[in-house]
Structure 1
């Protein structure tokens, strides 16, 4: 399969601190013509990304949805998600890029479940508005300055790691306040178990009753939990998950609808086309053509 939308890999520029990079948004805009793939065109990330906007207004694409951004907006993009920028005049900000290994290492240092909202991108919006009282701009500016400061290796790594944990924890805290109706309860934990099992099994089974049985609960109870967490039925969530995976595959390669149908676990390609069109309004090929116009 030839890729039409590239996976953007992480390349660290710091020999002292592997797994994290801090870049000015303006620099990416200035140097976009030198990149092998334009940051204004859709691309799939092989790392995690926090974007903090300090000036201007624009939009950022995350998994086929354009989100309006402005000063003091944070956009979080997980590994595997589709991303793109619109570099409007006057747009400024910072990008904090980090690998999965770096994230795991840092999460081990912060309280359990602190990052639950940032690590479940299909559950929460990727956009966060930061109030001035959060002091987040100061920490973001400081981590940028410390990252490029020529200091002793140990101190530099320790300082950057500490600032990253503060920033990550603060963004999660803001996110928690925005979604305070969703508690870190047994219901949320059950939903996350459902989500994790779905990721591994959706190609083989798209039946909500199957997942209820696998989780040791009734179909009715699973539906109640999913509705409380995301205001959708378990089946609706399964369908949205499958469609998102199909969309990523469609724009990410030259794969044909018939191949994608089998990849998504459909025995008959025609059934996949009907399934996709019912939920998106497009045939798989039609979606690909429509999306490539953007």
Structure 2
């Protein structure tokens, strides 16, 4: 597209995987900008907001799929539904890059078969790719959600269901049958942050997404995120980000 729409902040409901093979540019995912060069792997998940680099800045292999597409398995389903995983890896010219490129090449070969692609084979190949990506080293400290064990996994799932209705750590502890101290230990192990900060960060991220890619009034967004008054939402957002919702929206058109 040449109308500049992809360079603006936008949101999709499918997964987008890109392995960069040529060129250099920057790509922004959930308000974090990543430098892209040959060997960069980007994974943009459903619900995340992004803005593309200028057209022609980078080339590579691009794979789009819905969360329901990979062959069903516990691990593949977990990865396809993962909203919190890494968005970017810088793969050196080593076995990780080669293996990732090989997986994508197999998907492309099946998709372009002269006899016609097999949906079942494609689903298996995409599932295998996800399992391979799960083995890649996670960039940054405190970036392994499995470090928090089952406690953190259950908390994350409940947080995704309930972040718009409660921001109280005590509510999550009660619903899951843990103490707040147990949830904090799990969150510290997985993210380096206590449970309340993890909750507030999820609410803040959703607020940023809605402010950037929708035209909804700020009062409507506040209500959607469980705030009784827009003023309370404005205070919360400013405490978390250092700016007001209106200023944030203006800076992310």
Residue number among 45, 48, 54 corresponding to 1:81 in the alignment: 48
CA offset at residue 218 of structure 1? 1.1
Q: Is residue 43 of structure 2 the alignment partner of residue 43 of structure 1?
A: no
Counterpart contact for 1:115–1:169, Cα < 8 Å: no
After superposition, residues 43-82 of structure 1 pair within 5 angstroms as: 43-82=10-49
Q: Which residue of 2 aligns with 1:198?
A: 159
How far apart, CA to CA, are the structure 1 residues paired with 2:227 and 2:185?
28
Q: Which residue of 1 aligns with 2:230?
A: 269
After superposition, residues 28-39 of structure 1 pair within 5 angstroms as: 32-33=1-2, 38-39=5-6
**Structure 2 SS opposite 1:101:** coil
CA offset at residue 197 of structure 1? 1.2
Calculate the aligned-residue CA RMSD, in Å.
2.6
Q: Which residue of 1 aligns with 2:103?
A: 139
CA offset at residue 162 of structure 1? 3.8
Q: Which residue of 2 aligns with 1:157?
A: 119
How far apart, CA to CA, are the structure 2 residues paired with 1:287 and 1:70?
29
CA offset at residue 119 of structure 1? 4.3
**Structure 1 SS opposite 2:7:** coil
Q: Which residue of 2 aligns with 1:219?
A: 180
Q: Is residue 207 of structure 2 the alignment partner of residue 246 of structure 1?
A: yes
After superposition, residues 116-127 of structure 1 pair within 5 angstroms as: 116=78, 119-122=81-84, 124-127=85-88
CA offset at residue 259 of structure 1? 1.9
Q: Which residue of 2 aligns with 1:19?
A: none
> Which TM-score applies when normalising by structure 2?
0.87
Structure-2 change in CA distance of 1:69 and 1:118 (3 Å):
farther
Count of residues paired in the alignment? 250
CA offset at residue 61 of structure 1? 1.4
**Structure 1 SS opposite 2:68:** helix
Q: Deviations over 1:217-273 (max 9, x none)?
A: 111111111111100011101111011111111123222222222221111211111
How far apart, CA to CA, are the structure 1 residues paired with 2:105 and 2:31?
29
Q: Is residue 221 of structure 2 the alignment partner of residue 260 of structure 1?
A: yes
Residue number among 59, 67, 70 corresponding to 1:100 in the alignment: 67
Q: Which residue of 2 aligns with 1:22?
A: none
How far apart, CA to CA, are the structure 2 residues paired with 1:291 and 1:161?
36
**Structure 1 SS opposite 2:64:** strand
Between the two structures, name the one with larger relative contact order (CA 8 Å, sep ≥ 6). Answer: 1
How far apart, CA to CA, are the structure 1 residues paired with 2:60 and 2:24?
11
